[in-house]
Amino acid sequence: MSKSNSIYNIYTMKKVLMMLGIVGFLFTSCEKDEDNFTETTSENNAENTTDISEDLEIEDFVYSGLNEIYLYKAEVPELADSYFSNDSDKFEYLDNFSSPEELFDNLLYSQDRFSFITDDYESLEERFQGISGSTGIKYGIGQISGTSNIFGFIQYVLPGTSADEAGLVRGNIFTEVDGQSLTMSNFQNLLSSNSFTINVGEVQDGTIILSDRTVTLTDDPYTSNPVFISEVLNIENRKIGYLMYNSFIADFDAELNAAFADFKAEGIDDLVLDLRYNGGGSVVSAIDLASMITGQFEGEVFMKEQWNEKYQAYFEENDPERIVNRFDSSIRTGEATNSLNLNKVYVLTTGATASASELVINGLDPYIDIVQIGTNTTGKFQASVTLYDSPDFSKEGRDPDHTYAMQPLVFKSINAEGRSDYIDGLTPDISLTEDLGNMGILGDPEEPLLQAAINNILGKAPVKQSTAAYKYNQLGESGMNEPGYQRMFIEELPPILDPKS
């Protein structure tokens, strides 16, 4: 039976019961206790509400979670505690939506680009641990300026994957997948397959040059170490540490700390932190990274949290330290933080630099000199948390009948000087766009963005943007439709003030 038919039958039954009650009242003695009729009707209402709630179980979870802890609850009229007069009204509203996803989208604040829902929380959990399938290419999708032509360009290749084995490299271009030319309407579907074949080309003198070569890529299970490159460059009597860090994954905090142990042992003079493709991740990992870069600000405020009105008031009154994040001296494993005590750091960014990456830049800014090189970041200053369908929205006790989970925004981050709401991203001090005709090799001192940082360190003339750079509009990148894309999240759900019944 459909949901709509179920609702209709419930209302029909109520009308029939009311008519029977009236007829019974007219044809029985005046000694009929009218209160008994009222009680019977009330019991039937309760039964009907139970029937509806079971039919809309996942929708009820979606509504309850957002109503409780969503950062932008006050901006969505339907989430107000007084919006429904009773449960029947609420379930009638929930029944208007064809799926939990449609309901979720309808309840989001119009400016919320980042909250999401998934019907597979196991996959979400794996991605938060850095585990996923991978063809091995991390790519961007571009549109040739003034045309409808779409192409992909490889930003980097993961070691040990099918792409690596096929010899693909940073800067390779492709315009076809499985023999079909990429278009605005098909590129997402074509690139979401578990296995696909691409043609291979490159940009030369401002023009895409394609070869006859094709490469078949397979989506194999892969655990990605976000500490992608860590090295020390000895240039003109200066030791320059270079770290390309591609995601804030909790399980790799020890590897990150080990990289800083090497920098510390080498006695580096400067640090270049490459976050150009880092879409974010764990807030705790971001705090750990900021503490590794510095060390001299232990205990100082790194970031404050601003929750919705109910939770903010509760925290401020009962647990004010809960919403203050401070520079620390140990990572989550308990290891001592390998801190460099730097007063300046160079950060490489692009439009793919998001959330926890931006948190590190914004959190450090009141304390040390940040030289940002590249292009504007994404502009995500909010954090989310995973809600499961359980009485207190935790993983324990979740409903075994489905695998839905939500990742709504629950607080926005504010640095020690009160800076937040950088909706247009963080603006670089040195503007430089990656040139598809001269992508360079990541970690090579002559790679343009890294070279720009080195030149600034050495007091040399800045790297100039090539006037012959290939002109295109970036439409997206690999992983853009996956759970966890450009997310900043906390692992620990706070105590729920009003648990589900």
**Could you tell me if 441 and 351 lie in one domain?**
yes
Q: Which residues contact 416 (CB under 8 A, 6 or more apart)?
A: 300, 301, 302, 303, 304, 363, 366, 367
- The helix (H) or strand (E) run that includes residue 116 is strand 116-118
* Domain count for the chain: 3
- Residue 57: phi, psi to the nearest 5? -60, -45
For residue 96, the Cα-to-chain-centroid distance in whole angstroms is 28
Q: CA–CA separation, 60 vs 39, rounded Å?
A: 27
Q: Say whether both 73 and 176 belong to one domain.
A: no
Residue in 1, 11, 2, 9 with CA at minimum distance from that of residue 89: 11
Does the residue 390 lie in any domain?
Answer: no
**397 within domain boundaries:** no
Same-domain status, 303 and 368: yes
Residue 74 and residue 61 share a domain:
yes
7 occurs within a structural domain: yes
Q: Are residues 196 and 317 located together in one domain of the fold? A: no
> Which of these three, 222, 238, 255, is where a domain ends?
222
Same domain? For 277 and 371 the reply is yes
Please, what is the Cα angle at 351 between 346 and 355, to 5 degrees? Answer: 75
Are 96 and 214 in a shared domain? no
Q: Tell me what pLDDT residue 482 has.
A: 72
Instruction: Classify burial at 449, counting beta carbons within 10 Å of its beta carbon; exposed 0-12, middle 13-18, buried 19 or more.
Output: buried
Residue 132's pLDDT is what?
61
* Whether residues 240 and 187 fall in one domain: no
Q: How far apart are CA 490 and CA 494, in angstroms?
A: 10
**99 shares a domain with 184:** no
The pair of structure tokens assigned to 33 is 């206790």
Instruction: Return the amino acid letter for 343.
Output: N
Do 347 and 367 fall within a single domain?
yes
Contacts 24+ apart (CB under 8 A), 193-202: 193/219, 194/133, 194/218, 194/219, 195/135, 195/219, 196/135, 198/152, 198/174, 199/174, 199/175, 200/168, 200/172, 200/173, 200/174, 201/172, 201/173, 201/174, 201/175, 202/171, 202/172, 202/173
8 A C-beta contact, residue 410 and residue 384: yes
| Residue 248, domain CATH | 3.90.226.10
Token pair for 219: 């989506």
Residue 255 belongs to a domain = yes
Helix (H, G, I), strand (E, B) or coil at 74: helix
Q: What is the largest CA-CA distance in the chain?
A: 107
CATH number at residue 166: 2.30.42.10
Q: How high is the pLDDT of residue 54?
A: 66
Q: Which domain holds residue 26?
A: 3-112
| CA dihedral of 133, 137, 141, 144, whole degrees rounded to 10 | -160
Tens digit of pLDDT per residue, the chain (501 long)? Answer: 333 333 333 333 333 333 334 334 333 333 333 333 333 344 555 555 555 566 799 999 999 999 999 999 999 999 999 999 999 999 999 999 999 999 999 999 999 999 999 998 888 887 677 656 578 999 999 998 777 889 999 999 999 999 999 999 999 999 999 999 999 989 988 988 889 999 999 998 888 999 999 999 998 888 889 999 999 999 999 999 999 999 999 999 999 999 999 999 999 999 999 999 999 999 999 999 999 999 999 999 999 999 999 999 999 999 999 999 999 999 999 999 999 999 999 999 999 999 999 999 999 999 999 999 999 999 999 999 999 999 999 999 999 999 999 999 999 999 999 999 999 999 999 999 999 999 999 999 999 999 999 999 999 999 888 766 677 888 889 888 776 677 799 989 999 999 876
Residue 501 lies in a domain: no
> Of 202, 222, 242, which marks where a domain is finished?
222
Residue 384 forms part of a structural domain: no
In a domain, 411, yes or no: no
Task: Let me know whether 215 and 196 are in one domain.
Answer: yes
**324 plus 461 within the same structural domain:** yes
pLDDT at 53: 61
| In-domain check, residue 482 | no
Q: Which of 222, 247, 278 is the last residue of a domain?
A: 222
Give the pLDDT of residue 73.
Answer: 98
